[in-house]
Amino acid sequence: MIRLSIRFAGALALVALFLPVLQAAAQQDVPAAPAAQAPAAPAPAAPVFPKIDPANFTASSPDKDTVNAFMQASWGYDETRVWEIWAIQKTEVDGISKVTLLVGDKTGKQKLIPVQFYVLPDNKHIFAGDEILPFGANPFAEERALVQQRVDGPYRGSASKDLEIVEFADFQCPHCKSAQANMDKLAADFPKARFVFQNFPLPMHPAAASAAAYGYCVTKQGGSTAFFTFAAAVFDGQDGLANADGATLTLNSAVTKAGLDPATIATCAKAPATHAAVDAMEKLAVDLRINQTPTLLINGRFVPANTPYDTIKQIILYQAKLDGVAAQ
């Protein structure tokens, strides 16, 4: 369920993520020529970037190396993506620099697209679209450290946090339900990764906080295995969360399937300590500036969980490589 606007690396990552999708759709709109008459297609050519004007580089920071390192960290998972730094310019505000890139792909089928962002005075953040995002040669390090310190949800897979993939989800969010197929497949394909379910109940879903409280208590009493059985049952019966009576039946049924006593879990879910734990879950999501569910953090890197599976897999492999850890 989108809460504000898409968080996946702001406008930059949206371009990187969806250009291949748009390109494929455009290719489907072109009818094939008759095979017997079709001339041989010319080999695709990489885009030709216009000559760079040194006068476009008026800001003292960031330098080209830092911008390129940032872009490589952000987009390097897509080997077809190419870019050129067109300008790094001063702005009317002291310390804020405007970076302009020309972006294309190695096939030459995609026209060059200008992408701009503003580097803030701390040189650690950028403003892109309507988002403030991390910047630098290792832009995901701060979020990764925060996740390692404060994420405390149930997990499956490796006990190690070397490759930690955290799913922020809401039990009443339809998009979270549909993302579970991706999550199950990822857990099977990446046995060396640690997959954490972190509840982020959204205020527009009346049963989400109660479901999160039940999930917390299930984990507390039955461990992670019981939680994931409970979670699967809640998502399967998600329609039942639409009203109070249905929510109670759905949650109690899921607790039973997890092998626990519904009355005991219901009592635990009403306890002040449980409410405090759910509040802390929400606080963590806010501190990470997460504004949609489901969202994945792959060693601190934000990715919507409903991103096409092959793209998520590509990003996991690339991020693991950047961080020097085993992925599979």
Q: Which tens digit of pLDDT belongs to each residue from 188-228?
A: 999 999 999 999 999 999 999 999 999 999 999 999 999 99
> How many other β-carbons are positioned within 10 Å of the β-carbon of residue 23?
14
**CA end-to-end span of the chain, whole Å?**
30
Contacts of 61 (CB under 8 A, 6+ apart): 97, 119, 123
| Average pLDDT score over the chain | 87
Residue labelled with tokens 């599979």: 328
Q: Tell me the CATH architecture of domain 142-323.
A: 3-Layer(aba) Sandwich (3.40)
> Torsions phi, psi of 111, nearest 5?
-65, 150
Share of the chain above pLDDT 90, in %: 77
DSSP state of 240: G
The predicted structure's pLDDT at residue 108: 75
Give the whole-angstrom CA distance, residue 169 versus residue 176: 6
The boundaries of every CATH 3.40.30.10 domain in the chain are 142-323
Distance CA 322, CA 324 (A): 6
Q: Which residues contact 112 (CB under 8 A, 6 or more apart)?
A: 47, 49, 102, 103, 104
pLDDT at position 5 over 70: no
AA identity, residue 70 = F
Span 305-311, mean pLDDT? 90
Q: Which of 10-14, 62-66, 158-162, 165-169 has the lowest mean pLDDT?
A: 10-14
Q: In this predicted structure, what is the pLDDT of residue 23?
A: 33
260-286 pLDDT, tens digit per residue, is 999 999 999 999 999 999 999 999 999
Is the confidence at residue 123, as pLDDT, over 60? yes
240 neighbors 233 (Cβ within 8 angstroms): no
Evaluate whether 132 touches 110 at the Cβ level (below 8 Å). no
Give the tokens for residue 201: 């109940």
Strands, DSSP E only, in the chain? 81-90, 97-105, 113-119, 125-128, 131-134, 155-157, 164-169, 194-199, 295-298, 301-304
Structure tokens at 245: 């009576």
